[in-house]
Structure 1
Amino acid sequence: MADRTQHQLFIDGAAVDGAGERFVVVNPGTEAVVAEIAGASAAQVAAAIAGARRAFDSGVWSGLAATERAAVLRRLMAYLAGQRERLIEMVVQEGGCPVSSGTMVAQVQGPLQHGLDVIDFFLRLPEFEENPLPFAERITPRGGAVQSLRRYVPVGVVAAISAYNAPFYINVWKVLPALIAGNTVILRPSPLTPLSALIFGEAAEAAGLPPGVLNVIAEAGAEGAVTLSTHPDVDMVAFTGSSGVGRQLMAQAAPTMKRLQLELGGKSAQIYLPDSIPQAAAAAAMVCLSHAGQGCVLGTRIFVPEAEKAQAMAAMAAAMAKATPGDPADPATTMGPVISAAQRDRCQRFVDLAVEAGAKVVCGGKRPERPAKGFFFEPTILDTPDNKNPAAQEEIFGPVVSVIGYRDIDHAVEMANDSVYGLSGYVFGKDAKQAAAVAARLRTGTVNVNGGVFSAYASSGGWGASGIGRERGVEGLRVYQQIQVMNIQGA
């Protein structure tokens, strides 16, 4: 078993020291160095790709029955479940998520269950499905029978490139579906949060995965990620991150026509119907206190009736006043940091741009005086005059929300749809039928009426600049499979 203190890479079945540039992992809540990592060299990235290619082409993994793959992956998940407290510590230290935050359920406990759920779910999906040929096409001119089948087969070598905001969760939702479908995987985490990916190497070793089936590399820069998205031996790239980087990956993957699954940025709307204004009091806190607003699906644009806007913003500000920033490891902390100084500066830049364009700061809007250390930004509510404001159009990825008034439902829907993004959306209303009707008009990959679902069985995915393909659910499994049509004629 690999030495847990060494933060080793996992390449072609072996734990190895990185031979590339060294880099440090910093606790964004304290600015203390959490770990020093020796990243992968170009040769090690190439070795990971070669190992994954060899393992896939040999059939040592894809050639197993799905039930056999499932048995190995259950052992992998059992190892990770045994490291639950360590995983929580990783998420706190490298990601800055407060240990007592409700978000921790999504960071660690939920993924541990989802990993098992996806294995069970996959085993219930058919390997073959019949194509609905009309009766006349099922008989050959000579009287023989015709059968046309869709067969689902693995894509091949998958490069999984994950983001920093929910690292363990995102890693689970790339590695487990890809592996249970029979693919081999190279996992490359964000340099900001590599620890909760490197643990997958330990889990692979403990579970007895064949060499090359799962490889885990970390790096200081992006050279390895570029190689993964351009190398001809990689068949698919699954990426979670910004829309800008997603566009670069698409261009890099185009010459080799790789399969893509991209979960990108969002600027989701929360629409509060006139009968649900009291619920709007929690709207800002839902964003800003959820891992400091670092969630692509969070509803950062809040739409309320114009006549109720002042009242709603006052209630939101009162709820936010209870936020307690501090060390993420302190159970009393309710407001964590953003991931880096650069991200904190981004929050400030967009607040300033919003004010220049006519918005007013209701609360927050700057770096807090305390704590002195850490990449904190105050939970911020912007009284935003319209949906054209920069803070309403661009993904900030921090604890900043825009509150915008609407004249009527048509106006609210029009503004909600006035975005290049289409990842998620929220509608709140006591009249569930009316709320659902409004939700159906939103151009977004997921829409939540009076609440959401956090399940391995329900997919999510973006439209427009928010991505391609879906994660979770049937679609999140099938994206890691190719369709082969088999047409069979009887004698």
Structure 2
Amino acid sequence: MATQATSQGSWLPTRMLIGGTLCAGEGAPVVVRNPSTGEVTTEFAGASLDQTKAAIAAARAAADKGEWAATPQKVRVAKVRALLELFMARTDDLRDLIVTETGMPIKSFALHAQVGAPMAQMDVMLDLCLKLPEIEENPISLEERINNMGGFVQSIRRYVPVGVVAAISAYNFPLHINLWKIMPALATGNCVILRPSPLTPLSALALAEIAAEAGLPEGVLSILAEGGAEGAQLLTTDPAVNMVSFTGSTEVGSIVAGQAAPSMKRLQLELGGKSAQIFLPDRVEAAYSAAIGVCMAHAGQGCVLGTRIFVPQEEKAKVLGAMAASMAYAKIGNSTDPETTMGPVISEAQVLRCERYVKLAVEAGATVVSGGKRADRPGYFFEPTILDVPDNKNPSAQDEIFGPVVSVIGYRDVDHAIEMANDSSLGLSGYVFGKDAKAALDVARRLRTGTVNVNAFFASANSSSGGVKMSGIGRERGVEGIRAFQDVQVMNLGSAV
């Protein structure tokens, strides 16, 4: 394989997969920086707009030819599983790329969610795909089964591929997100064009180099990175694309939805989150570690992280003191240092965003309990930050910051906690902690969010996730995540008379 390498011998793939062929980019440069140092890791030519057009044309031709869609389900899934096995054989290399491009510490407890977990989940997903029927009978009544010509009618649902899927992913968990877009889409017979975040394109281009060996039909899978956004815009507007699967901010997701609307594309959008963690009075001691847990989970760069922490008002001062003490366990450092527990955010822009929101929070009445500023070291580091926030209207409680910043808010009673938790334009995830399981479940039932975790955090290929309100459309993982890449065709079959 033609790749670049650092002085340490790391794998730095830079070629695109377009229509089944690996090739160099012909467009604007993609500059990948190491968030731990701010230095350039590699720079290469990204895909040009013409190359994106070529990828769309190849995918459209393959979809219209129908060879991949017509491949028997068991055979198609076996081919996708063979592709997964090629990916799994390079797990260590992929992990090194993730550490380099995302800045996640090599010893982070969350690193498994970057590589190991999605690899394992893909295997389970493929098993689940095989269990789902390709046709199902509609429950029409006996009377309806007799047609007006004296014959009999059977009404069935067929699940067929959407066609051409544009997959546009975010930077924070790039391999995880990329796999959860391309693999179920391929397994259900679609043709896929993956466009990763320009901030973390290397793991996607690694998949491109590996996939080139898999022998998929021409045009079924293309992977390209670009320095700008012209290609991404084309993927969301070109009528030849049938579906857009996008993970990113709510602001950009709204733009994507608008661009996709004129051609009525299927949308799967996983967008921003401002998830609440509600600690009931009988479980308030569990809140002490909540802030460090969020901050050390990829420096707070996770859409499902519970960055709003609700505790009983009378316990708030005690909780804040314990949280501040927990920050002694946070060791900020380079992602390759085994002693590091919290790495950088992704970019200089993200550091500035954290600074701006801390300033806005304080201006609106919040107090910085711990952290609150850029760390004094090279790279894109922001201190793990605890804010004592007077109410849920504070900017730090309303907007997704996407950094190591948590807002601690006191509640008068459980109804008040639920009211504040639901007082958000976002609704991606949520958490309830209580020793009384029934009471905790009662609270969970009243939360308006796509997922609620009660005394747990759970992620499975068999269990879907997705948002409500401004947190997105559709779901990933589980049965719904597989069916998202399929259209339903109803066939009404009459007997000859």
Q: Deviations over 1:92-118 (max 9, x none)?
A: 110000010011010000011111111
CA distance in 2, matches of 1:297, 1:2: 37
Q: Of 438, 441, 448, which residue of structure 2 is paired with 1:443?
A: 448
Aligned-pair CA distance for 1:144: 2.2
Distance 1:397 1:418 in 2: 19
What is the aligned partner in structure 2 of residue 414 from structure 1? 419
Counterpart for residue 337 of structure 1: 344
Deviations 1:445-471 (A, max 9, x none): 000000121210100000011000000
Name the SS for the 2:121 alignment partner: helix
User: Of residues 446, 450, 453 in structure 1, which corresponds to 2:458?
Assistant: 453
Q: TM-score, normalised by structure 1?
A: 0.98
- Shift in Å at residue 32 of structure 1? 2.4
**Higher mean C-alpha displacement, 394-403 vs 199-208:** 199-208
Question: For 1:309-338, what per-residue CA distance to the aligned partner results, in whole angstroms no more than 9, with x for missing partners?
Answer: 111111111112210011101110001100
Taking the aligned partners of 2:383 and 2:259, their CA distance within structure 1 comes to 37
Instruction: Give the secondary structure class of the aligned counterpart of 1:206.
Output: coil
Of 57, 62, 65, which aligns to 1:55? 62
Code of the residue aligned with 2:448 in structure 1: it is: R
Q: Select the residue among 96, 107, 123 that pairs with 1:89.
A: 96
Partner in structure 2 of residue 265 of structure 1: 272
Matching of residues 17-166 of structure 1 within 5 Å: 17-166=24-173
Quick one: which of 184, 187, 190 aligns to 1:183?
190
Among all aligned residue pairs of Structure 1 and Structure 2, give the percentage whose two residues are the same amino acid: 61
Deviation of 1:417 (Å): 0.2
Root-mean-square deviation (Å): 1.0
Counterpart of 1:267, as a letter, is: K
Task: Identify which of 412, 415, 428 aligns with 1:423.
Answer: 428
Contact kept in structure 1, 2:195 and 2:224, CA below 8 Å: yes
Q: Are the counterparts in 2 of residues 381 and 400 from structure 1 also a CA contact under 8 Å?
A: yes
Equivalent residue number for residue 380 of structure 1 = 385
What do residues 384-434 of structure 1 show as CA deviations (whole Å, max 9, x unaligned)? Answer: 000000000000000000000001110000000000000000000001111
Tell me the equivalent position of 2:303: 296
Q: Deviations 1:207-261 (Å, cap 9, x if unpaired)?
A: 2111111001100111100000001100000000000000100111111110000
1:464 pairs with 2:466: no
What 5-or-longer segments of structure 2 have no aligned partner?
4-10
Pair 1:317–1:340, CA change in 2 (3 A): same
Q: Structure 2 matches for 1:280-295, cutoff 5 A? A: 280-295=287-302
Residues in 2 aligned to 1:339 and 1:5: alpha-carbon distance in whole angstroms: 18
Distance in 2, matches of 1:194 and 1:337, equals: 18
Give the Å deviation of 1:6.
5.0
Structure 2 Cα separation of the partners of residues 133 and 174 of structure 1: 35
- Please state if 1:224 is matched with 2:225: no
Aligned to 1:357: 364
Q: Which runs of 4+ in 1 moved over 4 A?
A: 1-6
Q: Compared with structure 1, are the counterparts of its residues 134 and 380 closer, same or farther at alpha carbon in structure 2 (3 Å cutoff)?
A: same
Q: Which residue of 2 aligns with 1:198?
A: 205
Contact preservation (8 Å) 2:16, 2:25 = yes
SS in 2 for 1:90: helix
Equivalent position amino acid for 2:457 in 1: G
Q: CA deviation at 1:5?
A: 5.0
- Identify the residue that residue 210 of structure 1 maps to in structure 2: 217
Match of 1:325 among 332, 336, 340: 332
Paired residues of 1:2 and 1:202 also in contact (CA < 8 A): no
1:273–1:305 CA contact under 8 A, matched in 2: yes
* C-alpha displacement of 1:142: 4.3
For residues 97-143 of structure 1, give each alpha carbon's deviation from its aligned partner in whole angstroms, at most 9, with x where no partner exists. 00100110100000111111111110110001111112221222444
- Report the Cα distance in structure 2 between the residues aligned to 1:71 and 1:186, rounded to whole angstroms: 21
The CA deviation at 1:276 is: 0.3
1:453 and 1:335 map into 2 onto residues whose CA distance is: 22
Cα distance between partner residues in 2 of 1:53 and 1:264: 27
Residue 305 of structure 1: which of 312, 322, 342 is its match? 312
SS at match of 2:277: strand
**Paired residue type of 1:24:** V
TM-score where L is the length of structure 2: 0.97
Closer, same or farther in 2 for the Cα pair 1:433/1:54, shift >3 Å?
Answer: same
Q: Which of the residues 479, 485, 489 maps onto 2:490?
A: 485
8 Å contact kept, 2:122–2:179: yes
Contact 2:12 2:97 in 1 (8 A): no
CA distance in 1, matches of 2:67, 2:339: 49
Q: Is the 8 A contact 2:296 2:341 kept in 1?
A: yes
